[in-house]
A and B are shown apart, each in its own frame.
Chain A
Amino acid sequence: MKAIAFNKNAANVLVWVLLLAAPFWLPFVGGYVELGERVVVLGLAAMSVNFLLGYTGVLSFGHAAYFGLGAYGAGMTIRYLVPSTGFGLLVGALVGTLAGAIIGPLIIRLRGVYFAMVTIAFGQVFYFIAFRWNDVTGGDDGLLGWTRMPLNFGFTTVDILHNPRAFYYFILAVFAISVGVMDWVLRSPFGRTLIAIRENERRARFLGIPVDRHIWMSWVISCCFVSVAGALYALLNNFVDPRALYWTQSGDFVIMAVLGGMRSFWGPLIGAAIFVLLQDYLSSQTQNWMSFVGLFFVLVVLFFPRGILGAIRRKVA
């Protein structure tokens, strides 16, 4: 038990050291800071999806919708309302969370494949709204004509637009807060209850746990953090387009979680890192990168169903 606790602490320290130092070591291994930014943002999205998938045992295949709502929320706020990065982030997160909270009651009674199917289908509504509502969202061309703004703390301003390192640490700070909250929730009695539901839903129900309400809350928390990730994604690109909402994006999040390991806290981040690097490499090498990404899905499912961390843990045990 002690050894496991020690390993866990060591892993936490290692992850944070690597993340904090990323802008300094990335260039040495042939990367660039924006790559690190993308890993952190998509990692946050994958970890939010895994909050539901790995810790509540509910298979959502539609999280791109709330990711995209967060992105559009942030972009449109900065474009039309207030040119402030922090405010955009806040509105983006609110919009995504609210949409999740409203759609939640329609779907929480469904289980398994049915849940997956309905979440995918619901995601498409927002895609079509973004795609068709040209005047406001920019339609297929995406939302242009805005950039992220310097952070204004009153006594000092930080230019996150032109200074990639500053922006990386801004993203990392948001990531750290989100991940910290998720970890805290998972370690609370509420989080333990979610795991109990995952392990044996019927038993949890007989113990008097309001299962549907717990799943709804878990769903809303997950939607909240995925929309934070979406808002960061919009700030990262200074651009949003409807593809951020498309159902294939949801599949990407799920494969990141599975690849890294659904039963481990940091797994999805590792999955995201591998996925981002692979996509970056493939799209620079071949036009047919979609085939390779598809093949990657197939191989992960057939040979790495427990994910990388799951496989390592098994070997150690």
Chain B
Amino acid sequence: MTQLILFNIFNGLIVGAFYALMALGLSLILNLSGVINFAHGGFLAIGGYIAFTLSPYIGFWGALVLSPILTAVLGIIVERFLIRRLYGRDPLYSLLLTFGLAFIFEDGTRFIWGAQSLPFQVPSWLVTPLSSDFFFLTGYRLFMVLIVALAVAALFLILGYTRLGIRIRAGTLDLETVSVLGVNVRILRSMNFGLGIYLAGLAGVLAVGQLGLQPTIGSSLIMPSFVAIIVGGLGSLPGTLLGGLLIGVASGLTTVFWPSATEAVMYVMMAAILLVRPRGLLGEEGRF
């Protein structure tokens, strides 16, 4: 029983790390530009499929490096030509636009790579279990957690100490003043969007290593990311990280005791949070 619980907590942690990676990208874009990017899951799927296509030529490691970058470039193109036109309009429009893009991405990946699930090869030394007692501790799972941790650390370092990161944070608080001070806000928003999509692409590569490739992989991960943002608190990236991990572990634990409620438990958590603390765990008062 202890082993089962440990297994599910660990599993939940991994799933939560994914949610967090997705949600951090969503949060970045939402905070600076006020856009809910419904197509985030689509970008995740594209990151995974690009890695699948590239890995025969440049190997797993090459794909892990290159695929998120290519996904981010695609994201910047989409931002430049479509989403940029909608800044300053009612958020309804960017919502509908990215909603449409999510359809196009899901159907597009199905059209190009087919609807059936495809296997994605990860290096064989990564998939062997590390210990027979704790069979669930495969190298790949630990590796995923490690990469997610590295990516999150890098993100917080970028936001904390680089000029781009400081500008993003400043813009989140008051974009007008940042613009008046001579920062090109258009480029700032593009870079920020690219950064968010990079995280989605990275999550995509890691996810397909674990789950295999399906066109619907993105749309099944996007809702939990929303919940992670709401639970953690809008406007707070540490909150988003915490929210992602929390709901991951919570659904992991629920699997042990009541499997059919696995997906629903995070929404119950969200309702409870909204009831007692509408701004979320680490959200600022009065931001929304």
A251 to B116, CA, bound (A): 26
Q: A128 to B103, Cβ gap below 8 A?
A: no
B74-100 near A? 1/0 per residue, CB < 8 Å:
000000001001100111110111011
Q: Does A291 contact B (CB under 8 A)?
A: yes
Q: Does B181 contact A (CB under 8 A)?
A: no
A296 to B264, CA, bound (A): 32
Q: B89 to A305, Cβ gap below 8 A?
A: yes
Q: Does A121 contact B (CB under 8 A)?
A: yes
Q: A112 to B288, Cβ gap below 8 A?
A: yes
Task: Give chain A residues whose Cβ lies under 8 Å from the Cβ of B93.
Answer: 301, 305
A103 to B275, CA, bound (A): 10
Q: Does A107 contact B (CB under 8 A)?
A: yes
Q: A291 to B271, Cβ gap below 8 A?
A: no
Q: A59 to B102, Cβ gap below 8 A?
A: no
Q: Which label, helix, strand, loop or mixed, suits the secondary structure of the A interface?
A: helix
Interface size class of B (residues with CB under 8 A): 35 or more
Q: B267 to A124, Cβ gap below 8 A?
A: yes
Q: B99 to A297, Cβ gap below 8 A?
A: yes
A107 to B278, CA, bound (A): 8
Task: Give chain A residues whose Cβ lies under 8 Å from the Cβ of B267.
Answer: 121-122, 124-125, 128
Q: Does B274 contact A (CB under 8 A)?
A: yes
CB-nearest residue of chain B relative to A297?
B100
Q: B264 to A258, Cβ gap below 8 A?
A: no
Choice from B34, B100, B230, B264 contacting A118 with Cβ under 8 Å = B230
Q: Does A274 contact B (CB under 8 A)?
A: no
Interface size on A, residues (CB 8 A): 43
Choice from A124, A254, A295 contacting B96 with Cβ under 8 Å = A254
Q: A120 to B234, Cβ gap below 8 A?
A: no
CB-nearest residue of chain A relative to B91?
A113
Task: Give chain A residues whose Cβ lies under 8 Å from the Cβ of B263.
Answer: 124, 128, 132
Q: B100 to A298, Cβ gap below 8 A?
A: yes
CB-nearest residue of chain B relative to A246?
B219
Q: Which of B82, B226, B229, B268 has the most CB of A within 10 A?
A: B226
Q: Does A14 contact B (CB under 8 A)?
A: no
A309 to B231, CA, bound (A): 39
A120-140 near B? 1/0 per residue, CB < 8 Å:
111011001100110000000
Q: Does B260 contact A (CB under 8 A)?
A: yes
Task: Give chain B residues whose Cβ lies under 8 Å from the Cβ of A254.
Answer: 92, 95-96
Q: Does B202 contact A (CB under 8 A)?
A: no
Q: B104 to A291, Cβ gap below 8 A?
A: yes
CB-nearest residue of chain B relative to A252?
B99
Interface residues of A in 246-295 (CB under 8 A from B): 247-248, 251, 254-255, 258, 288, 290-291, 293-295
Q: Pick out which of these stretches binds chain A: B105-113, B127-135, B167-175.
A: B105-113
A296 to B195, CA, bound (A): 28
Q: Which of B82, B101, B261, B264 has the most CB of A within 10 A?
A: B264
Q: Does A33 contact B (CB under 8 A)?
A: no
**Distance in Å from the Cβ of B31 to the closest Cβ of chain A?**
11
CB-nearest residue of chain B relative to A105?
B275
A177 to B82, CA, bound (A): 41
Q: Does A114 contact B (CB under 8 A)?
A: yes
Q: A107 to B274, Cβ gap below 8 A?
A: yes
Q: A118 to B99, Cβ gap below 8 A?
A: no
Q: Does B223 contact A (CB under 8 A)?
A: yes
**Distance in Å from the Cβ of B281 to the closest Cβ of chain A?**
15
A221-257 near B? 1/0 per residue, CB < 8 Å:
0000000000000000000000000011001001100
Q: B95 to A61, Cβ gap below 8 A?
A: yes
Q: Does B50 contact A (CB under 8 A)?
A: no
A117 to B95, CA, bound (A): 10
A295 to B102, CA, bound (A): 10
Choice from A247, A248, A298 contacting B82 with Cβ under 8 Å = A298
**Distance in Å from the Cβ of A58 to the closest Cβ of chain B?**
11
Interface residues of B in 250-288 (CB under 8 A from A): 260-261, 263-264, 267-268, 270-271, 274-275, 278, 288
Q: A110 to B278, Cβ gap below 8 A?
A: yes
Q: Does A109 contact B (CB under 8 A)?
A: yes
Interface residues of B in 175-202 (CB under 8 A from A): none
27 sample A-B contacts, Cβ–Cβ < 8 Å, listed by A number:
A53-B92, A59-B90, A59-B91, A106-B275, A107-B274, A113-B34, A113-B91, A116-B36, A116-B92, A117-B36, A118-B270, A124-B223, A124-B267, A125-B271, A129-B264, A132-B261, A247-B223, A254-B96, A258-B96, A288-B110, A290-B103, A294-B104, A295-B100, A297-B96, A297-B101, A298-B82, A301-B96
Residues of A bordering B, CB below 8 Å: 53, 59, 61, 103, 106-107, 109-114, 116-118, 120-122, 124-125, 128-129, 132-133, 247-248, 251, 254-255, 258, 288, 290-291, 293-298, 300-302, 305
Known pairs A118-B230, A288-B107; list 12 more (Cβ under 8 Å). Answer: A59-B91, A106-B271, A118-B270, A125-B268, A254-B92, A258-B96, A290-B103, A290-B107, A295-B104, A296-B100, A300-B96, A301-B93
Sorted from nearest, which 6 A-B pairs have the closest CB atoms?
A: A297-B100, A294-B103, A294-B104, A290-B107, A114-B288, A291-B107
